[in-house]
Amino acid sequence: MSENQSPISSEPGDGSVLAVEKKRSKVFYGWYIVGACVLITLYTGGVVHFGFTAVFEPIADEFGWSYAQIALASSLRGLETGLLAPIMGFLVDRLGPRKLIFGGSIFIGIGFFLLSRLSSLATFYGAFALLSVGMSTCTGTVLMTTVINWFHRRAGLATGIVASGFGLGGLLVPVVTKLIDALQWRKAMLVLGSGTLGIVLPLSLLVRHRPEDYGYQPDGEESSAGGSGEIHTSTASTEINIPAKQALGNRAFWHVAIASMCHAFVIGAVVTHMMPYLSSLGIARSVSSLVALILPVASIGGRLGSGWLSDRLGRRNVFAASFVLMTAGLLLFGLVITERMWLMVPFVITFSLGWGFSVTSRISVLREYFGRSSFGTILGFTSGIMMIGNVAGAPLAGWIYDTWGSYQGAWLGFSALTLFGTVLVLTTPTSGSTPA
């Protein structure tokens, strides 16, 4: 093996650990894993999560279904993802991420192929159930747990980079929109499904579970043949590692989880209804798809910046600030009318920053409070609670529009939830508090 080769070529137990003891890559393999995770979440987030807004209206026009019925598919996706998240967290802690991501890419591909053959509302919901299973097994809890396992001191930076990959998925919204306009939406779904199998499936083979299995410590600290146990003990002694059962009985966990549920409620509604909302204001699809692109991409600043700010201001403070910014953004969003389109600028700035801050700081807060020994399971249960927000937000916004012919009331009302999230985070017990 040359000095520049990756030290990890196979699963542990086949002699690869011995090879690591002799030769190591110049670049910590954890950063290769971060790169693979970024590409996986960029594509899947772009075509499944953000791209849904582009196919919303074409499906409504062809089948005549109400906005609430179509938005319910997005909520079912959140329901499936939320219900599966605790299971995925448990599995990734024990089996590692590679098999889960590999299988998830197949589920997403099948889901898109089924969408291309859509003929009924039941088929529509079934396709989104498959997409949600795929998203559960190759994004979110699985990827974040993988990154947390490989990093300690630089966990904020690493998770911020991976979370930014999801934000970059917004860049694919105009691509998906143009694909739908050029090929019609059914053929476009076939292309997206094929892309999943061609991109995500091979990337899954690059992802590994824990650094200790390959002779590393978190952050790339090397363990010598004679002193690995000593270094491992020293590193482990600086970490808090709380079992999942104990974490679930801790009041701090429930503050973070319920606040995250408020986040999921609002994000799910805004992302799903972005293009329909702007169309209701008379904005062309080409322009509204651009706004749908800008919002998640702009959140990258918050995703990356929150790691840096958390080290200086505290992770919980940054998490609370995220909800303040989202509240301001929703109030601005609710005031937008054709004559006040300039309000979209401060909306995008405040809401995207709050969105980005929340995504990364939530992960960092959980890591700080509970450690990484059961992190996948803990994060999975958090995502399961967030499912309630995912299920409720988009259909409620659709119902409000169907009933009153306007989205403004939804955005103004939803700002109360993010304000409540602020209170929950600020009253979260400090790290090390006794369980409730």
Report the alpha-carbon distance of residue 80 to residue 88 in Å, rounded. Answer: 12
Whether pTM > 0.85 for this model: the answer is no
pLDDT band at 110 (very low <50, low <70, confident <90, very high): very high
Q: Give whole-number Cα distances, 135 to 80, 111, 166, 346, 368, in Å.
A: 9, 11, 12, 31, 26
Angle of the 344-370 helix axis to the 251-280 helix axis, nearest 10: 160
Predicted pLDDT at 21? 41
Give Cβ neighbours of residue 54 (< 8 Å, ≥ 6 apart): 173, 176, 177, 180, 275, 289, 292
Residues in a beta bridge with 216: 222
pLDDT tens for each residue of 387-434: 788 778 888 888 888 888 888 888 988 999 999 999 999 998 875 544
pLDDT tens for each residue of 237-281: 456 778 878 888 889 999 999 999 999 899 888 888 888 888 888
Report the alpha-carbon distance of residue 91 to residue 8 in Å, rounded. Answer: 22
**Sign of the four-CA dihedral 173, 396, 386, 118:** negative
* Cβ proximity of 97 and 142 under 8 Å: yes
Write the DSSP assignment of 318-374 as a string of letters: HHHHHHHHHHHHHHHHHT--GGGGGGHHHHHHHHHHHHHHHHHHHHHHHHHHH-STT
Which tokens is 132 given?
């949600």
Domains along the chain?
Answer: 25-211+242-426 (1.20.1250.20)
Give the single-character DSSP code of 220: G
Which tokens is 287 given?
């322009």
Residue 377: which of 145, 70, 58, 38 has the closest Cα? 145
* Cβ proximity of 139 and 25 under 8 Å: no
pLDDT tens for each residue of 120-170: 888 888 888 888 888 888 887 888 888 888 887 777 778 888 877 877 887
Q: Which H or E run contains 290?
A: helix 285-313
- Is the backbone of residue 207 left (phi > 0), alpha (psi -120 to 50) or beta? beta
